[in-house]
Structure 1
Amino acid sequence: MVETSLLAHQTSLALDPAATSWLLTSTALVLMMTLPGLALFYGGMVRKKNIISVIAQSAAAFALVTVLWFIAGYSLSFGKGPEAVDGFIGGLDAAFFNGVSAQTAHSLLPGLPELLFASFQLTFAVITPALIAGSFAERMKFSAALLFFGLWHLVVYAPVAHQVWGGGWLGGLGVLDFAGGAVVHVNAGVAGLVAAIMLKPRHGYGRDNMAPSNLAYTAIGTGLLLVGWMGFNAGSAGAADALAATAGFNTLLAAAAASLSWLTVEWIEMRRATLLGLLSGIVAGLVAITPAAGFVDPKGAFFIGLAAGPACYGGAVWLKRLLKYDDSLDAWGIHGVGGIVGALLTGVFATTAVNPLAEGATVGKQAIGLLGVMAWSAVGTFLVLTICRFTTGLRVTKEQEVEGLDYSQHGETLH
């Protein structure tokens, strides 16, 4: 291959075997986060009649987004677009992986085969719409969910990924997002809030018993997410090096601190400690440390985790109770709120002693990044859901919802 054959985003491959090995492992770990990790985490929190439907949504997100990533998503996220729009979205030079191979490299990580870089980034693209499904669980048509996942990936996820990571305006501004606090979690959380409001509450919400049906599933899912998050955050270092080690330890510490701080608030308010609270706190800490993992030292990670527990408890419990929206599995309360807390505190605790790219980090820059992502996500999600409403329709009928989506949408049940 000669240099002139490279696409605008590509560079010649200078293979780093250690980094390649670690990113292969990280790709597998992050993929596990969606299926079975998130599928079981969400599946255990819905009523028994809807467990299959929630798992099916995670599986569908993997299948559909993977195909769309190959067709256009990767190119729109990490390719170079026409100069007039490149700040917001990439181009289509690499559509259908044109020119992408194991012999090329993306300019962001020249030591990795581009197919591996694309595979690793695909796992982030897959889990993001699957996270949103927690907000509309137990009431959205499966056909609507499929259409939503596909359109949302192209209209919202790909442009936001490009703006922050792919050479767009937010990355150029100096917004720090090590592993997806804004691109994945705030993006998904805002979309989930818009979806919860547009779909309106489940029938019987606030009156019927909607307690989790199987917290053992949720605990297993949490464990898989915790392990997978090591690939999510430490893998985002792009190499098997000291930065990856720092990001990995920060991930564990923040998750533990947030779990304890969530539990403390819950114990004070409810006079008891719940397994669901422990598990939710772990995920809240994982979300909050994601933007900061490779920019802060362990002391920063500890304080980010401590802050995330009460903040996400407030988003998942108090705010939802106050405003009476039905974010079924707290996509906004944990991923949206946790991502915002983590992104802002990245501006407080980022240090060049950990990562030279932290130079110039400020809370103001982080806030601008959050506002940009939140605005794009909110408007794009509203447009996509509006298209779904006038094509497939959004909600199942009342009778189908009462019967359960497992049978009404899939013809299957758990016995």
Structure 2
Amino acid sequence: MINSGDTAFIIICAALVCLMTPGLAFFYGGLVSRKNVLTIMMQSFVSMGVVTVIWFVFGFSLAFGPDIHGLIGGTKYLFLEGVGMTPNPSYGPTIPFITFFSYQQMFAIITPALITGAFADRVSFKSYLVFLVAWSILIYIPLAHWVWGGGFLQQMGVIDFAGGIVVHASAGLAALASVFFVGKRKVIDQVDLEPHNITYVALGTALLWFGWFGFNAGGGLAANGLASTSFINTDISASVAMVTWLIISWVREKKPSFVGVLTGAVAGLATITPAAGFVKPWAAVLIGLASSIVCYGAVQFRKKVDWDDALDVWGVHGVGGILGSILVGVFAEKSINGIDGLIYGDVHQFGVQVLATLIASVYAFVVTYLILKVINRFLPVRVSEEVEIIGLDAAIHKEEAYHI
């Protein structure tokens, strides 16, 4: 039976998650140089259109349709056939099935957009569009089915409340694969490596943090105590991670960096995502603390080995998603959502989390690299050095964010 409160809540959560993609555009847009800001913002915005079409035509059906051998969903829901106002007992028994579709669609939109921060300043828009379609079909849709749609990882017992594996680990490892394939930027001026507008980064972080409450609190598909727990866990983890990152970076870099504070908050948000609806607030504190320490270390490692992950997608989203997906297997408590983790004696659940995270991460990395390799045979993935020097905004889009 449809519950109007649950339905209204999930519609609002879907809208909040939708807001995160423009938020990501501002977050990334502020971090890149002024000559590439429109390009990276457009890469986020265009995902809203392209992925919606994919999701409507066949993506949702392949992710959440009847399971086929644990690998993919069937074609039952093509063009939203059978996805209407009647609830589906497996996907929100108190909300219309089409509301569940709307909520999941927003996750499918933002996930490939996350990857763009890794190859900022050097990938052509044409090749990105092909990559966006291919990645959504070959990586996001199968992972969503494996973890949430009745696939083999869900059958194995993996838990992922709102996308630590499906969203953040997959995007982060895809980002790393793209960094290895595309290669380093040919930087002429040091200013091109600096954030051109930190106020945009702050605005983007605010929109992401605000939207993340829908991202995580909606994971239980009902307006209840679990949603409230997820909400506060999200805020606690982000806040603790922000403060911890500030302290670490201030001590090491001798300055209280605003970009560092904002990055720490996003790391805490990404890391708590898979655990938000399975742990108590005290565990969210520890997860937030761990996220800053580990993700900060990952960013420093990336710099040391000279990987050109322009906006640290791997170090923040990838490492954060992997860490959170494993830590939920440590801190999960049955009184919250029916599952115990390692500290309550369930070694099996911890093992499942580690194995599932490893499988999904390796899959995302390998298939992303292959996608880029195939695309590059027909369409150059990387822009020419001349275009890179001029800037993608002026060279490709014939538009500029600033006329100076």
Name the TM-score class by shorter chain. over 0.9
Q: Which residue number corresponds to residue 40 of structure 1?
A: 26
**8 Å Cα contact 2:270/2:321 also seen in 1:** yes
Q: Which residue number corresponds to residue 10 of structure 1?
A: none
1:329-353 per-residue CA deviation (whole Å, 9 max, x = no partner) reads 1110100011111111111111011
**8 Å Cα contact 2:278/2:332 also seen in 1:** yes
Q: Secondary structure at the match of 1:47?
A: coil
Name structure 1 gaps, 5 residues minimum: 1-13
Q: Secondary structure at the match of 2:73?
A: coil
Match status 1:156 vs 2:123: no
Q: Which residue number corresponds to residue 23 of structure 1?
A: 10
**8 Å Cα contact 2:291/2:323 also seen in 1:** yes
Pick from 348, 358, 383: which aligns with 1:396?
Answer: 383
**8 Å Cα contact 1:176/1:358 also seen in 2:** no
1:204 CA drift (Å) = 2.0
Pick from 315, 320, 327: which aligns with 1:345?
Answer: 327
Tell me the TM-score normalised to structure 1 length: 0.93
Pick from 40, 45, 55: which aligns with 1:69?
Answer: 55
Instruction: Report the AA paired with residue 386 of structure 1.
Output: K
Over aligned residues, Cα RMSD in angstroms? 1.4
Pick from 299, 302, 323: which aligns with 1:320?
Answer: 302
Q: Please give the alpha-carbon distance, in whole angstroms, between the structure 1 residues aligned to 2:320 and 2:340.
A: 21
**8 Å Cα contact 2:91/2:100 also seen in 1:** no
Name structure 2 gaps, 5 residues minimum: none
How many pairs were matched up?
397
Q: Please give the alpha-carbon distance, in whole angstroms, between the structure 2 residues aligned to 1:110 and 1:278.
A: 40
Match status 1:112 vs 2:98: no
1:104 CA drift (Å) = 4.9
Q: Please give the alpha-carbon distance, in whole angstroms, between the structure 2 residues aligned to 1:331 and 1:122.
A: 22
**8 Å Cα contact 1:134/1:328 also seen in 2:** yes
1:101 CA drift (Å) = 1.6
Which stretch shows the higher mean deviation, 371-380 or 357-366? 357-366
Q: Which residue number corresponds to residue 4 of structure 1?
A: none
Q: Which residue number corresponds to residue 49 of structure 1?
A: 35
Q: Please give the alpha-carbon distance, in whole angstroms, between the structure 2 residues aligned to 1:357 and 1:78.
A: 23
Q: Please give the alpha-carbon distance, in whole angstroms, between the structure 1 residues aligned to 2:376 and 2:363.
A: 20
Instruction: Report the AA paired with residue 77 of structure 1.
Output: A
Q: Please give the alpha-carbon distance, in whole angstroms, between the structure 1 residues aligned to 2:94 and 2:371.
A: 37
Structure 1 pair 274–172 and aligned structure 2 pair: CA distance change class (3 A): same
Q: Secondary structure at the match of 2:103?
A: helix
Matches within 5 A, 1:236-385: 236-316=219-299, 318-358=300-340, 360=346, 362-385=349-372
1:209-244 per-residue CA deviation (whole Å, 9 max, x = no partner) reads 510000000000000000000000001111000000
Instruction: Report the AA paired with residue 391 of structure 1.
Output: F
1:356 CA drift (Å) = 1.0
Match status 1:210 vs 2:193: yes
Q: Which residue number corresponds to residue 6 of structure 1?
A: none
Q: Please give the alpha-carbon distance, in whole angstroms, between the structure 2 residues aligned to 1:106 and 1:113.
A: 10
1:120-172 per-residue CA deviation (whole Å, 9 max, x = no partner) reads 00000000000001111110000111100101000000000100000011111
Match status 1:59 vs 2:42: no
Q: Please give the alpha-carbon distance, in whole angstroms, between the structure 2 residues aligned to 1:140 and 1:362.
A: 40
Structure 1 pair 365–206 and aligned structure 2 pair: CA distance change class (3 A): farther
Q: Which residue number corresponds to residue 79 of structure 1?
A: 65
Q: Please give the alpha-carbon distance, in whole angstroms, between the structure 1 residues aligned to 2:79 and 2:397.
A: 31
**8 Å Cα contact 2:277/2:336 also seen in 1:** yes
| Identity, % of aligned positions | 42
**8 Å Cα contact 2:87/2:94 also seen in 1:** no
Structure 1 pair 120–91 and aligned structure 2 pair: CA distance change class (3 A): same
**8 Å Cα contact 2:30/2:195 also seen in 1:** yes
Pick from 394, 397, 400: which aligns with 1:407?
Answer: 394
Q: Please give the alpha-carbon distance, in whole angstroms, between the structure 1 residues aligned to 2:18 and 2:340.
A: 28
Match status 1:191 vs 2:191: no
Q: Secondary structure at the match of 1:49?
A: coil
